[in-house]
Each structure stands twice: as structure tokens, then as C-alpha cells.
Structure 1
Amino acid sequence: MKRKILLSFVAILLVSVLIIGLLSINLVKQSYTTELEKRLVTNANLIAAFIGTDDIRPEDPAFSKLADELAEQGQVRMTLMDHQGRVIYDSRADRELMEPHHQRPEMISALQDGIGKEIRYSDTTGQEMMYVAVPVSISGNVGVAYVVRLAMDLQEIDALTKHIVWYLTISLAFGLLIAVVLGFRLIDRIIENIRGIVNMTQRMADGDYDKHIYLESNDEMAELADHFNHMADRLNETIGKLSVSNARFMALLTSLKNPMIALDQHKCITLMNAASENLFNVKAAELQGHHLLELVRDTELDDVIQEVLENQSDQQVEVTLREPAEKTLRMMTSLIREPEDPLKVTGLVILMDDVTEIRKLEKMRSDFVTNVTHELKTPLTSISGFVETLKSGEIEDDETRQRFLDIIEIETERLTRLINDILTLSEIENIRGHEQKVPAAPGDLLEEVISMMETISRHKEVALHREIARNLSEMSLNEDRFKQMMINLIDNAIKYTPEGGKVSVSAYEKYRSLVIRVKDTGIGIPDKDLHRLFERFYRVDKARSKKMGGTGLGLAIVKHIVLSMNGAIRVNSEVGKGTEFVITLPLS
């Protein structure tokens, strides 16, 4: 940059001096030519007046002598011609050898206009000459008798021009020397100031707004530096406020548990929080600027958003997602408006609430009410029918009457079991985490339950085996719930194991947990029913379950008891080969 400025400075100086020199030379040359022309005209008029008197004639020998003296004193070349252009006298050439001058421009102009002027090259003298010609009239005669022409060479102009060029060259050399020295110092100072400002802008571009620049001058560069310092202070203050605001915003956005997506007017994603990234299993940076349909492939939601943007009214809609996992989301829109112009909408925010579990619970509650109603209605209808029949007195046979009473008793017991199971399930759910627990030995409790169930297994002709590890660690638990859990599992295993089959119960410790396995060689459970096995009133084989007196709540009670003990339960089954329930309970 320094070299460019210096070269530009020198080029401007050279051009300026060149223009001034050319104008000066032209002006001097023009002034000299004008002055010379005036002098020649004056002298020519004097000579013409002198010749026009009667005292002297050009043909006289005395005229040549007088003309030579006048030409020598005036340092001019004098030529006298008649009106036809024939040379009568010339101070520097032999008139005999000279051709007629009637075609010379100055001769023609003198005869036509009364005076002739011309600057041209002379073949006679071999120099650039200025010619002035005036007509001569003899006193007493009419018309032009002679033409006097004075000429002077222009060597003095060339010499003067050379002097001017010489002086200009010396002036230019000194001027360039001084300009280069002073220019170097001035340019160095300017470049240093500019470099300081450039370094400051570079630091500002890198995010450092604490540095300032101070210039030792009182010119515009110092004023520019002051403005930069002020701008840096304002930027530092503004960016500090923005950083704090952005940190708060990001903290708020990160802490927001509900998924949130911001869209622009074209329904393209501008912002996503961490919760939405986790929900859709994507990265916000990958979808920045992409259309919402690339994330949520639901045309109904797209239509709702379009309606919100067009009508500028917030709405709420529920959308069921199929990918990456099936979920039901309640989406609430909120328009983004310009702070300065509330009527201008620049986009919207979608706040999502995962209501999948709520909808599942609502469906489970609805199914539970339906199932309870159905389960209660069936035995009640049966009891009511038999009671009306007995009350009518139409049954006189004691044996028939007794059979009806037995049926009523069976249905009443079934109804009682159902109500007890419902109450038990409700109680487990309501007191979860608050039930009374005492230290107990799980091995002893398992032995008690197995001893109780041996009678049922022998009656069913199903072998009941046990593999209880010795010295199992004590646990803090509710003994009644623990026994109920094991009774339900072992009772189910015996019920669905045909005669001659086997049920085995094992317990051992692993990874600071108690593992209990109840395995049978029964009918097994199809794969399609495994995921619903612990739902209330769900039966794999409804007819068989009712025949065996099941309420459909046994496994649901088992699952809730396991959950109340912070444990986990899983099931492995193969149709025709048997089923195994595995319970894992933490010892601490």
C-alpha cells in the first residue's frame, strides 16, 4: 500500500509539472510571437511610409544601402516586391536568383487585407520564420506600388523554450526529491495509523473489544480512531448484554422439558430445543432451514400451521407420530410477532406435550371400566336369574334347588374374588412407596408359599420343585405382598400346566439383586400376547381362564407388587413347551 500511495503521489506530481510546463512554454511562445509580430508590423509600416514618399525610389542605389542599414539594425530580413510579386530587393539573398512571390500567403493577404502575416519554413534561409507584409502606395499614385515584407527567424523562441524546459527539469528534480522525502514520512505516519486501525478491526473481528487505539495526531485519522474506540465500547457492551440474554435464553431452552420447535413464515425450522432433538432422535443443526414436513410427516399438522399463519390465530392439535416411535403429541402453536409491529407475523412456535401415556392410561381406564362392568354383570345376571327362579316357587325338586344354590354360591365366590382383586390392585397403586416394610428373609417366605401350594399341585398331579439358594440376604419388604405375588405366579403355573407336568421355583442372588424364577411345562403363551400379558382383564384364552376361575387381574397384581418393590419382571414363553417368569428385586 505504501508503494502504491508513493507512486500515485509521484505520478500526480509529474503530471502536474508536465501540464504546467507545457502551458508555460505555450504561453511564453505565444507572448513572444505576439510581441515579435507587433514589432515587425510597426517596422514594416514605417518602412512602407518611408518608401511611399517622393524623396526615394527603390531603383536608386542609395535605397539598397539604406535598406541594408535598416535590416541590420532591426535584425530582420527585409524584402521589397512590386505589386506583381517580383523581388526588387532582399537583404539576405540575391534578388536575381529569387522567383516571384505573388503566390506567397503573406503577399496575397497584404494585397487583399492590407497586411499579411505568416509563420512558415523558409527554403531560402532554411529556418522557421515569421513574415509580415504591408502594401506600399506612392504619394500621388492610385493603387499598390510595392509590398514590403519583414521576416525574423524564431531561434530565440526555441532557445527560450529550452531554458524553460531546463528550469522545469531542475525544479521537478528538486520537487520530486523533497516530495519523496516528505511523502515517505507522511505516508509512513498515515500507514502506521491505518495499520493500527486495521489491527484493531481484526481484534474486533476475533471478538476482542477491550483493546483501544490512540493516535498522536489531531487530524481526521485521530477522529476516526476515537470513533472506533467508541464503537468498540458500544459493541462490547451490546455483545455482553446479548451474551447474558443468550445464556439465559439457552438455559431456559435447555431446561424446558417440553419439546419446542420454532418455524419461520415458510414453515421452515429455525430452532429446536434438546427435548425435541431427543423426541425425534435428530440434531437441530441437520434440520436448520428444512421444512417441518421433513421432521413431522403429518399433513394434518401442516394444514393446521398453514391455517394459523393465514388467520393469525393460535390453535391446538393432537398428532400421532409413527417414527421414530409411536407417540401421541399435543401441539400448541404460538405466533411470533415483530416487537415494533405486533400485526406483522414472522413465524410461530410449536410447544409439544407428550400425552402418549395419558392416552394409554385413559384407554386402560376405559377398558378397565368396561371389563369390570362386564365381569360384574355376568355373575350378577346369573345370580339374579337363579334367585328369581327359586323365589317363584316353580322348583319343587330338592336336587334341582340345591344345584341352583350351588351355582349361586360359585358365582358369588367368583364375584367376591373379582372384587377382592380389584380392591387389592387399587390398594397397591394407592400406597405404592408408603406401605409398611420390615426386614425379612425371602428364602423363608418362598418356602412357606411353596409348602402352601404343594397341596394344589398334588391335587392337579403337577410336580412342584424348588431350588432356593441358602443364606439369601434379608430384604426390607411387605411380607403379605411378597407372598401374594408368589402365590399368584405359582398358582397360574399350576393351572396352565397339564397333569404330569412340572413347575419349578428357583431363587438366588446376582449383582446385588434377588432373582426369582417360576417355570412351568404348560401350554405356553403366543408371542403376540406377551406384551399385553400384564394388562388388567387381559386373557390369552378367555374361555379357558373363566373355566379355571381366573379374574384376569392376577398378573396385573404381580406386576404392581414388583414395581412397588422397585423391581422388574419379564416373561419367556414358547407355545406347547411352557412359560418362565423372571423377577429381579434389588436387595437394598
Structure 2
Amino acid sequence: MLKIHQLFLRTFSLIFLLLLIVLSITIYFWSKHIYLDQIEKNLSQNIDSLSFSFNTLDNASYIVKTFKAKTGNRITVIDEDGVVVADSDKDKESMENHANRDEIIHAKYNGYGKSIRYSHTLEQELLYVAKKIVIDDKIYYIRLADYTSKIRDNFTELIYQLIGLIALFLVGFFIVTYYLSLKIKDETNSILDFLIQMSNKRPKYEIYSEFSEEFNKITRLLNKVANKLSKKEKQKDKQTAKLKLANRQKDEIISAISHEFKNPIAIITGYAETILNDKDLPEKMKTKFLNKIYTSGNKMSQIIDKLRLTLKLEEGKQTILTTQCSLHDLLNDIISDLKEKYAQREVTIIGKDKEINVDETLFSMALTNLIENALKYSEDEVIIKIDDEFISIIDKGIGIDEHEIKKINQKFYRVSQNGWNNSLGLGLFIVHAILKLHDFELIITSKLAQGSEFKIKY
């Protein structure tokens, strides 16, 4: 398959050759027509001049030969019956009757006639012009002829001149055309390279062309298409990254749920098996084992409830029922419940009591999660500050890296760096969703190895 610059050169060469042929044919027939008209006009004028020399036919042969020497035209004098009276080139006695010659027939009826034909006598093509005249009260025809071969000679000379001019023009035009074909080749190669890069989905640059308006439009459109494809590719990469992250988080949450269920199930199975197999187990020990089974069952139920609550909050199906609550009372109840698990830890409330309108169950769940995280990831005292705008839970624990803070409110997001692990990855997501239902805001500030502050703006 030809390249565009090769196609351009071949097409131009073919068109130029066709134009040259058409032009040559046109020039030939045009020049022939003009030349024949000129010869005919000259012959007609020469006949008029010659006719004045014929007062009598006694010296006709001398007159025609003398006139032939001056003009170079063949001259024939013919009587009314077609008999040759005198001829400048041949012996009149050897010449046949000319009554049926076209030019003589036309001259007989119109006074003037002409024809072009091949002369077997001279073995060349001639233009014959004849006029009817009267000499001594008799009708005669003076016929002059000239060679049409002069047309070919003149045309050949003209063609040589024309070819020379065309050759000069062709060389110049070929240089320009070759330069244009190289430019077109460069432009098409540039576009091809750009398209190859687009097919690899990573164009390294924008393409631009000032060669022509068409190439300029093509390159601008290619840049637009490349930008759109690049944006789509980036969106695809982001979507792929999100899907990978979601899959990883789901794997992690499944692993976490399995881990959370593993211990309670093991406890339930172990104690239940002991009770079933040991018929002589003391009542006190049996009661202890049953309490362990009950506690483990409750723990599993709480995990399931947390997952169900997460789905409701995410789908916007969770409603709230607000009541007037005392923050001190709410916090004291939470701290009292956590004392069973964190008996050796201190939680201090600073600030005056404040009454707020909240869904007590949900808000208590949010505060419990924040306070328990503070206890879990620190060893020093946990401080709870209350003022007119905020309630803050402050610890001096391991802290959270700055770039993780914006992510920890996401569902299933778990921070594992330095041991900070948000359980199932649902706790802070639930906290954030509950606060959003109340039109509250969670503000987190933290520094690694210095501690964290979770501030609720109500």
C-alpha cells in the first residue's frame, strides 16, 4: 500500500503527463488551424496578384514559373474543361484532367474553392486554393498550393520550445512538490506516532501542526480525543484502585469478623462440650460455664447488631428519637460500664454539665466508641472536656498519622500502623454517621506518639 506522500507524487506526475498530452494535442490542432488560415489567406492574395499578369495565355508557363520562384507556391492554370494550361512544377502534357478536383468544383460554382489532400505527383500533402478568372472572354482557374508539412515543422519547433519551458517549470514544481511531500510525510508520521501512543494509552505530549488548516484541525481534534481518553483512563485507574481497596477492605473485614467470632464460638463450643460430657460437673462450675457461654453469645449478638446498624446508617434508614439528656449522667454511665473492662484506668470529666437534645442510645454508642478507643490505645489518664460548643475526648496514646485521619471515618477502613486498629473498621464510621444524623461534627487532631483529640461540635 502506498504512503500518502508517494500517492501524492504519483498522482501529480500522472495528472501532469495527461495535461501535457492534452495540451500538446490542443496546441497542435489550434496552431494547424491558424497556420492553414494564414496559408489560405496568403494563397488567395497571391492568386489576386497573379491574375493581373494574365492578359493572354501565350506566356502562361513563363509567368507561373517566374511567380513560383518569387513565392515558392505551386501554380497551376486550368481551363474551363479541367485541362491543365500551365504548371510551375510539372509538364502540363503529363498531367491528368483536373475538372473533378474539389477546389475546382467549388470555384466553378462559388468563384473560390479550397481543399487539403495528398498529391501523388509531389508525394506530399498540400493546401490547394483556386479562383475563377476570365482571360480573353474565357473562363480559367488559377490554383495555388503550399505544403502543409510546414505545419509539422513549425509545430515541432514550437513543441521543443514548449517542452523546454515545461521542463523548467516541472523541475521547479517538482522541487516544491517534493518539499511538500516530505512535509506531508513528516506530518503524517507525527500523527501516526501520536496515534500509536494513544493506542498505548499514554501520550507523552500534545501534537500540533501549522502546516495547513486541515492538519491543524486534525491535530487539535486528536489532542481533544487524547485528553478525553486520558481523563477516562485516569477515572478508570481511580475506579480500579477503589475496587481494589474495597476488595482488600472486604477481605480484611471478613477476616476481622471471622476473628471476632472465632473466640466466642470457641468458648461456647468448649464450655458446652464440657457441660454435655461431664455429667458430674458441680452446679457452681456449670453456672460459671453457662455465664461464659451467655457472655460470648452476647458478644456475637453485639457484632451482628453493629453490622446491621452500619447498613441502616449507610442506607439512610436509621431514624432518631431525641430527648433532653445530661452529658454528665450519660458519660458517667458509659465510664461505669467500661470500668469492668478497664478497671485500672482513669477517665476524668472536666467542665460543667450540659443538657443536649440527642438520641440517647445512638449518642451513647458514639461516645462509648470514642472513649473505649482512647482507653485501648493509651496508657495514661483519658480526659473528657465539656464546654458550650464541644465535648472532647483526649488521650496521650500512640496517635494517628496525619494522612490517615481523613480516611478513618470510612466504612471498613482500619489503621494498622503502630498498632492503631479500629476493630472491624466500623466504629468511627458509625460514630461519624450517628453524629451526622444529629447535625453534629467530628473533628480529629492527632500526632504520632503524642496522642489524639476527638472533638464533637454540637
Offset from partner CA, 1:241-287 (integer Å, 9 cap, x none): 5765788799999999xxxxxxxxxxxxxxxxxxxxxxxxxxxxxxx
SS at match of 2:279: helix
Aligned to 1:108: 105
Aligned to 1:164: 158
Aligned AA for 2:56? R
- 1:448 counterpart (266, 270, 279): 279
Aligned to 2:131: 134
Q: How many residues align?
A: 275
Aligned AA for 1:77? R
Aligned AA for 1:48? S
- 2:220 counterpart (197, 213, 226): 226
Aligned AA for 1:194? T
Offset from partner CA, 1:478-508 (integer Å, 9 cap, x none): 28999xxxxxxxxxxxxxxxxxxxxxxxxxx
- 2:21 counterpart (9, 18, 21): 18
- 1:478 counterpart (290, 301, 306): 290
Counterpart Cα distance in 1 of 2:30 and 2:11: 28
Task: Indicate how the Cα distance of structure 1 residues 126 and 244 shifts in structure 2: closer, same or farther if over 3 A, else same.
Answer: same
Counterpart Cα distance in 1 of 2:126 and 2:233: 82
Deviation at 1:95, TM superposition (A): 0.1
Deviation at 1:18, TM superposition (A): 2.2
Larger radius of gyration: 1
Aligned AA for 1:226? R
Counterpart Cα distance in 2 of 1:218 and 1:80: 72
SS at match of 1:136: strand
2:61 is the counterpart of 1:64: yes
Computed over aligned residues only, the root mean square deviation of the Cα atoms, in angstroms, reads 4.1
Aligned to 1:236: 230
Aligned to 1:466: none
- The answer as to whether partners of 1:48 and 1:135 remain within 8 angstroms in 2 is no
- The answer as to whether partners of 2:6 and 2:181 remain within 8 angstroms in 1 is no
Task: Indicate how the Cα distance of structure 1 residues 108 and 444 shifts in structure 2: closer, same or farther if over 3 A, else same.
Answer: closer
Task: Indicate how the Cα distance of structure 1 residues 477 and 153 shifts in structure 2: closer, same or farther if over 3 A, else same.
Answer: same
Q: Pick 1 or 2: higher relative contact order, CA cutoff 8 A, min separation 6.
A: 2
Aligned AA for 1:215? S
Counterpart Cα distance in 1 of 2:190 and 2:107: 75
Offset from partner CA, 1:41-79 (integer Å, 9 cap, x none): 12223333543xxxx211x1x332222212221110100
Counterpart Cα distance in 2 of 1:445 and 1:16: 111
Task: Indicate how the Cα distance of structure 1 residues 206 and 11 shifts in structure 2: closer, same or farther if over 3 A, else same.
Answer: same
- The answer as to whether partners of 1:440 and 1:479 remain within 8 angstroms in 2 is no
Return 5+ residue gaps in structure 1 as ranges: 257-432, 452-473, 483-588
TM-score by length of 1: 0.41
Aligned to 1:73: 70
Deviation at 1:222, TM superposition (A): 3.2
Counterpart Cα distance in 2 of 1:437 and 1:155: 127
Q: If each structure's helix is expressed as a fraction of its own residues, which one has the higher value?
A: 2
Structure 1 range deviating more: 121-130 or 438-447: 438-447
Return 5+ residue gaps in structure 2 as ranges: 251-263, 295-458
Offset from partner CA, 1:74-111 (integer Å, 9 cap, x none): 11010001011000000000000001101111111111
- 1:189 counterpart (159, 183, 187): 183
- The answer as to whether partners of 2:9 and 2:181 remain within 8 angstroms in 1 is yes
- 1:120 counterpart (112, 117, 122): 117
- The answer as to whether partners of 1:138 and 1:145 remain within 8 angstroms in 2 is yes
Counterpart Cα distance in 1 of 2:268 and 2:139: 158
Offset from partner CA, 1:396-445 (integer Å, 9 cap, x none): xxxxxxxxxxxxxxxxxxxxxxxxxxxxxxxxxxxxx79x9899797797
| 1:333-348 aligned within 5 A | none
Deviation at 1:236, TM superposition (A): 2.9
Structure 1 runs (4+) greater than 6 angstroms displaced = 245-256, 436-445, 479-482
- The answer as to whether partners of 2:268 and 2:293 remain within 8 angstroms in 1 is no
**How much identity, in percent, do the aligned residues show?**
23
